Structure 1
Amino acid sequence: MTLLENLRQFPAFENVPDEQLQWLIDRAEEQTYGQEEVIYAPDIPVDHLMLLLDGRIRIDGPNGVSDEIASYEPHSVLGVLPFSRIKTIPNRLVAEKPARVLRLHRDHVRELAHTHYELTEALVHQMTTRVRDFTRQVQQNEKMASLGRLSAGLAHELNNPVAAVVRSADTLRQHLRATPEAFKTIMHLKLSDQQVDSVNEVIFRKIDQKPPILTLLQRSSLEDEVTDWLDDQGVDDSLDMAGPLVDFGFTVDDLEWMLERIGDENLAGVVAWLVNNLVTEKLVTDISEASKRISALVGSIKNYTHMDRGVGKERVQLADGIRNTLTLLDHKLKKKQIAVTLHVPDDLPAVCGWPGELNQVWTNLIDNAIDALPEGGQLTIDCELDQRAEGMAFVLTKVIDNGAGIPEDIRDKIFEPFFTTKEIGAGTGLGLDIVQGVVKHHNGSIKVQSEPGRTEFSVCLPVE
């Protein structure tokens, strides 16, 4: 097959006349590459338009082959294109399979653009397709990375309550095995209805009241007092019983009150039954609280992604999205012991917009602030109504951190796509570009002010 016949198989050249393709062939050179041979190393000048005749070429990601960015099959167009500003590429270009390439040096590209309209048009179309596909892919990678961070955080946050449910359920199962024995003991006691009512009264009173908040020293002292009192009354296993009693606020005075009503002969059996019920109540409460935590986390991720809603515009309470985002990033906040202050007026009006997009704004701004903050840093989020003189109303949201600040020499670049100060593989440089795009989509504005010890991102969104 001749080179002209091969070029005719390129979908991009379907409408390009033969004489223009022949012009390209006359000025190009054919080059072959062996398997896994590096065509371009990172940051090496890219000087050729490349037409892949046979083989397969890939672009490695920052972590090598395992993180492949893109691959090209025969009849693909790579490298320099008319009017493109490509100088170098940050990643390796490698022949994944033995490859045969037709290369045109960039010195001929200017002549091509001036004299061969159809060929230039085809190549420019390839350039716009390349930019669109690459941008879409990088944005998708950024979204997946963001989803990965949130998923890791959600898994981390769910782990504790799930473990608590499993642990408490197992303990409850073992504990319930002792209930028949305690029941048998209580059945042998001769208690009047009035005495039973007294025991029920104290149980429900202690269960319904808020558990006392005790220091370690206070708790230890109370347990010693209760243990000593039970020992004095001849109650077995007093040490094991003291803990559950103190958990629910029982004191020696409470036990004395109960003793007066049930008598010495019934005390041991009643206390055993009482402690059995308190332990059961504690385990059920632990399971309930852990389950509520799981429900809250699931609710936060559901609201964050708006899985149960449409994709159109709607009235959005910004505070809800911010709170959901803080919940999902709570593991990162706890890891660095960052204090969070959220100020939201009760009468803050809603804005009209796309909730999922706005959540991306809060995710990127808060996540960036966490990365910039030192251990024990402070994150402040303020929302307020901004009533303009021209009659328009806006919601102004400020995300403020007390980190080191953004250096002045890069402050103007932070919203540029692919600009990042993070290490290779740690960021794509699209976070703030996405934020700016979403804010513009909502007819809003975003500004940044920064100095050492205070960085403030201000997002202004119209109410109507």
Structure 2
Amino acid sequence: MNLLETLQQFPAFANVPDEQLQWVIDRADEESYPEETVLYKPNEPINHLILLLEGRVRIDGGVNGAADEILTYEPHSLLGLLPFSRMKSIPNRLISVTPIKVLKLHRDKLPELIHACYELTESMVHQMTTRVRDYTKLTQQNEKMASLGRLSAGLAHELNNPVAAVVRSADTLKVHMRATPEAFKAIMHLNLTDEQVDSVNTVFFKKVDQQRAVDARPLTLLERTSLEDEVTDWLDDNGVDDSMDLASPLVDYGFTVDDLDWILEKIGDENLVGVINWLVNNLVTEKLVSDISEASKRISTLTGSIKNYTHMDRGTGKQQIPLAEGLRSTLILLDHKVKSKHIQLNLTIADDLPPVCGWPGELNQVWTNLIDNAIDALPDGGKLDIVSQPDRRPDGSEFVVTKVIDNGSGIPEDIKDKIFEPFFTTKEIGKGTGLGLDIVQGIIKHHNGSIKLQSEPGHTEFSVCLPTE
């Protein structure tokens, strides 16, 4: 089969006259390459229209080879530069999967092709728009999956601690409850009046309630050590065995020597050992149950954040959105990254912040990308401020302005105008696709909003303005 017959097999050239195909053949170079030949490296200039005559070609990330595959081209495909395309390079690698044969037309010939071959140009422009649409959709999907992967990893990390705490406390509680029968025997041998029992119950529940209080101040290490020594000495002086083991739970709930003196006065020496052991037994049970409760609440908070973040229990239409909810949910899911870099995080949300009208799932992508990028840009111990406040314009229209501010090294002046371009990234290969800010800008435009950037060393600020109507 000659070259003309081969080009006639291209689906894109179904309506192209033979003389126009021959025009390309006369001006193009036929070349062959063995398998696994790198035709273009990432960001290498592309100067040819490539017609794939035989074999298969793939586009990959250039890091893990076939594992990074983005697209595969079969025989009779158009690659590289196309008429009217502004392409100068691609951020990925173009490599032959099998031995290939191609026809290459240099970019210098494209202006002449546009004037001489109308049908051919039309078919190639159609291919260009299809290629851009398919490639952008695929890469955006990969970016969304990568974001989902990062959030899933963070969620698993955050869930691991409370889940481990529940398991650990439940196992300890099971062991602890086996000692209850012995404690019950000791209690049954005590000779206590109803008034004495009530006094012990009173001090027990008073200490438990104080520990549960929101404003309860935790003891410093020095204060705790000093109080444990005092309680241990008191127990020893009053003939209570295992004083060191008993002192710690008592101190956990704020028992002091004065409290123990009060109990002793109420119950008498003969009942002291049994009552102290009963108190400690119940305090340990209370502590384990409290730990399980706190860990369970943390799990509930995390799952609630995922529910709020994805809005999986709501419709997909446009609705009134409380931005504070989305910001907090996003921060909970990214909390592991904040902690891992010891970042000082400040979230300031105005009390009178009005809701905005939009698609909650899309706006959460905005906060995820902006906050995740800010965290990546910060050094260990950096500072991240997130501020959301209402803004009323002179014409009476209302907006909500949300700012994501970091004190990192800033964005260089020469790339500020490029950061919202598709596929532009400052991250190393394999760490970013360059679609984050492009997606952000597209979503904000979809909401009739705007995004602005101010950056200098020590202060980078992304300001998102969204209408309330």
Counterpart selection for 1:370 from 368, 371, 375 = 375
Ranges in structure 2 where 5+ consecutive residues have no aligned partner: none
Partner of 1:113: 114
Partner of 1:179: 180
* C-alpha separation in 2, matches of 1:387 and 1:90: 42
Counterpart selection for 1:252 from 243, 250, 257 = 257
Partner of 2:152: 151
Deviations for 1:54-112, whole angstroms, at most 9, x for unmatched residues?
A: 32111231314121222112222112222223334443322211223233344443333
Q: Which deviates the most, 412-421 or 354-363?
A: 412-421
Counterpart selection for 1:326 from 328, 331, 356 = 331
Distance 1:296 1:124, change over 3 A: same
1:390 and 2:395 aligned:
yes
Give the C-alpha shift of residue 204 in structure 1.
1.4
Q: In the alignment, residue 82 of structure 2 is paired with which amino acid?
A: L
Q: In the alignment, residue 149 of structure 2 is paired with which amino acid?
A: G
- The answer (yes or no) to whether the contact 1:212–1:248 under 8 Å persists in 2 is no
- The answer (yes or no) to whether the contact 2:42–2:62 under 8 Å persists in 1 is no
Distance 1:341 1:132, change over 3 A: same
Counterpart selection for 1:271 from 253, 264, 276 = 276
Shift >6 Å, 4+ stretches? none
- The answer (yes or no) to whether the contact 1:448–1:456 under 8 Å persists in 2 is yes
Q: In the alignment, residue 446 of structure 1 is paired with which amino acid?
A: I
Partner of 1:165: 166
1:21 and 2:21 aligned:
yes
Distance 1:220 1:43, change over 3 A: closer
* C-alpha separation in 1, matches of 2:247 and 2:372: 46
What does residue range 85-124 of structure 1 map to in structure 2 within 5 Å?
85-124=86-125
* C-alpha separation in 2, matches of 1:306 and 1:28: 54
Partner of 2:246: 241
Partner of 2:6: 6
* C-alpha separation in 1, matches of 2:333 and 2:178: 39
Q: In the alignment, residue 133 of structure 2 is paired with which amino acid?
A: R
Aligned residues with identical type, % of pairs: 74
- The answer (yes or no) to whether the contact 1:32–1:98 under 8 Å persists in 2 is yes
Q: In the alignment, residue 438 of structure 1 is paired with which amino acid?
A: I
C-alpha RMSD of the superposition: 2.0
Q: Look up the SS of the partner of 1:269 in the other structure.
A: helix
Q: In the alignment, residue 188 of structure 1 is paired with which amino acid?
A: H
- The answer (yes or no) to whether the contact 2:407–2:459 under 8 Å persists in 1 is yes
Give the C-alpha shift of residue 2 in structure 1.
4.3
Instruction: Give the TM-score of the pair, scaled to structure 2.
Output: 0.93
Q: Which deviates the most, 327-336 or 288-297?
A: 327-336
1:199 and 2:204 aligned:
no
Instruction: Give the TM-score of the pair, scaled to structure 1.
Output: 0.94
What does residue range 61-140 of structure 1 map to in structure 2 within 5 Å?
61-65=61-65, 66-140=67-141
Q: Look up the SS of the partner of 2:191 in the other structure.
A: coil
Q: In the alignment, residue 132 of structure 2 is paired with which amino acid?
A: V
1:230 and 2:215 aligned:
no
Q: Look up the SS of the partner of 1:207 in the other structure.
A: helix
- The answer (yes or no) to whether the contact 1:212–1:247 under 8 Å persists in 2 is no
Q: Look up the SS of the partner of 1:413 in the other structure.
A: coil
Partner of 2:455: 450
Q: In the alignment, residue 116 of structure 1 is paired with which amino acid?
A: C
- The answer (yes or no) to whether the contact 2:12–2:124 under 8 Å persists in 1 is yes
Give the C-alpha shift of residue 43 in structure 1.
4.6
- The answer (yes or no) to whether the contact 1:319–1:344 under 8 Å persists in 2 is yes
* C-alpha separation in 2, matches of 1:167 and 1:365: 37
- The answer (yes or no) to whether the contact 2:352–2:390 under 8 Å persists in 1 is no
Q: Which deviates the most, 278-287 or 177-186?
A: 177-186
Deviations for 1:230-252, whole angstroms, at most 9, x for unmatched residues?
A: 11121111110100011011111
Partner of 2:442: 437
Number of equivalenced pairs? 464
Give the C-alpha shift of residue 26 in structure 1.
4.2
